[in-house]
Structure 1
């Protein structure tokens, strides 16, 4: 259920009320505690405003305060039982809580499943609820209702709504079920149909999981030709460094990443230096490896893999 948090909290509502006009901006800036306080104060005077209740649930969810998010989404379900997204968010918050406490997860499974099923029933076009059901049925043990056939059923429903989502869902099912050839087939179909970065990333992850780094690099290069993202230079360098292949290409890509780096690229420069240190260690170039690992540690001194890598370099 690792998609729940992303899908669950994507929608952010815009408010016309002046007292809530700045909340959306706070969400965009990831200032969830501040947003929570503003919405909570608003609800003291307007306790039945469903949009505000939903936003408060979202604020709690972003902070992984699942009990409090469940409480808010539960209010929405009670207030309007015919709104698919309310059931979806309630089930999603329960699912995330179950992931954090596997000893109590069994007691949540029934409510999680029924919430997603209700959302899918109420809205025949609810893509997120169907994605959740695909993952839920695959990850649940059979004794608790897990079923590959049911996952594929909802993947089929997804395909009828969105071919790309359907292909990705089927790829997920077959990858989870240890059928990499079928997973590869559907991920490639998703790339051909939609070609988003997400489609390419799924196939790259499959290749990495199947220990096929050359295929992973080839796929990332195809993504780079289509999308021209600096972050993809890092991804090529990462695979090269981890698998000790195409080291020259990996080094060039990491240097390009550092040269063109911006905060939008996502991965801090320290990690690029860490990968360069790995590459130089593969080449037994101790001085260059130390140079880059020291740069990585200087930027992010608390990252444990950096310190472990330095110990390996010093032992050369």
Structure 2
């Protein structure tokens, strides 16, 4: 009887709690980070021991790049449950992001705590992919004098490979790209495409080619991705490369026009940037009238955007 009475008394509270968590999670998924922060903060005033909502609060701080606040919340979670791999990972990640934003002296003082959190997360969960990615980046970004090591990064890339071949290949591509070994980087990015073929894999190789100043290869890779994935966003990417490197201008122009005609907010890049890229292409083609027309369309959407206004000045001087 007591068991049923307990359920009758507390079931509404449990249902309300779950509804609150779901609503906060939904706000985060919609990128309404400030609203999620306030909802979680106010809920925790009444329910301070709800670790799930506390984690959501930490996430809301992280999305807003409020690293000190995120670190404080994740530290509370780690203190509450040290053997939770996700808590350790998020704690280390928030400290790592703060380290990138502060001066080198302060960042050096954080290295040991960051490493400890990531290693603990990896130890706790042998299948925690994000932690292994974090360790790959960690060991590639810190100087060798304080523990940076390609060998250690490759160790976790191999662990990633055992969990997911695609992640393993991408991790090795990143390692060799960071260590200025472009041939090996290209090899592993291509293996990732062959193994997984996702848009993400294609994007990593495209970005690599752009950094290597190989726009022709970038365009060919984008064309291949477009043939397989049929995503409108790829039309913009092709136009962007064409405009930035003054190659395949006709193809770039047609792709940008197609992007604008088929645009939806899900494509990611606002139409204004497509107008801007078209203006760049028309400037390269010495078509001042079309260049001015399209840069004005871009400026009409974002009047204070510095690159747009600078491009207009170039066009006017043509």
TM-score category (smaller protein) = over 0.9
Higher relative contact order (CA 8 A, sep 6+): 1
Shift of 1:16: 5.2
Corresponding residue for residue 100 of structure 2: 99
Deviation digits for residues 141-195 of structure 1, max 9, x if unmatched?
1111111111111101100110000000000001111111111100000001001
**Unmatched 5+ stretches in structure 1:** 1-13
Does the CA-based 8 Å contact 2:21-2:52 persist in structure 1?
no
Shift of 1:262: 0.6
Partners of 2:39 and 2:300 lie apart in 1 by: 38
Q: How many residues align?
A: 303
Corresponding residue for residue 165 of structure 1: 167
Partners of 2:281 and 2:195 lie apart in 1 by: 36
The answer to whether the aligner puts 1:53 opposite 2:41 as a matched pair is no
Does the CA-based 8 Å contact 1:23-1:38 persist in structure 2?
yes
Does the CA-based 8 Å contact 2:272-2:301 persist in structure 1?
yes
Shift of 1:17: 2.7
Shift of 1:25: 2.0
Shift of 1:63: 1.3
Q: Select between 38-47 and 263-272 the one with higher mean Cα deviation.
A: 38-47
Partners of 1:96 and 1:153 lie apart in 2 by: 23
Partners of 1:174 and 1:15 lie apart in 2 by: 50
Corresponding residue for residue 217 of structure 2: 215
Partners of 1:274 and 1:43 lie apart in 2 by: 46
Shift of 1:27: 1.4
Does the CA-based 8 Å contact 1:76-1:86 persist in structure 2?
yes
Partners of 1:151 and 1:18 lie apart in 2 by: 41
The answer to whether the aligner puts 1:67 opposite 2:68 as a matched pair is yes
Corresponding residue for residue 258 of structure 1: 260
Partners of 2:22 and 2:194 lie apart in 1 by: 41
Corresponding residue for residue 201 of structure 1: 203
Partners of 1:215 and 1:209 lie apart in 2 by: 11
Does the CA-based 8 Å contact 1:20-1:38 persist in structure 2?
no
Q: Per residue, is there more helix in 1 or in 2? A: 2
Deviant stretches of 4+, over 6 Å: none
Task: Pick one of 270, 273, 283 that aligns with 1:271.
Answer: 273
**Unmatched 5+ stretches in structure 2:** 1-14
3-state secondary structure, aligned to 1:22: helix
Does the CA-based 8 Å contact 2:275-2:297 persist in structure 1?
yes
Corresponding residue for residue 151 of structure 1: 153
Partners of 1:23 and 1:269 lie apart in 2 by: 30
Does the CA-based 8 Å contact 2:25-2:56 persist in structure 1?
no
Shift of 1:102: 2.5
3-state secondary structure, aligned to 2:269: coil
Partners of 2:253 and 2:223 lie apart in 1 by: 15
Structure 1 158/292 Cα, relative in aligned 2: closer, same or farther at 3 Å? same
The answer to whether the aligner puts 1:176 opposite 2:178 as a matched pair is yes
Structure number with larger C-alpha Rg: 2
Partners of 1:144 and 1:129 lie apart in 2 by: 20
3-state secondary structure, aligned to 2:89: helix
Does the CA-based 8 Å contact 2:100-2:107 persist in structure 1?
yes
Partners of 2:70 and 2:215 lie apart in 1 by: 40
Structure 1 273/15 Cα, relative in aligned 2: closer, same or farther at 3 Å? farther
Shift of 1:303: 1.1
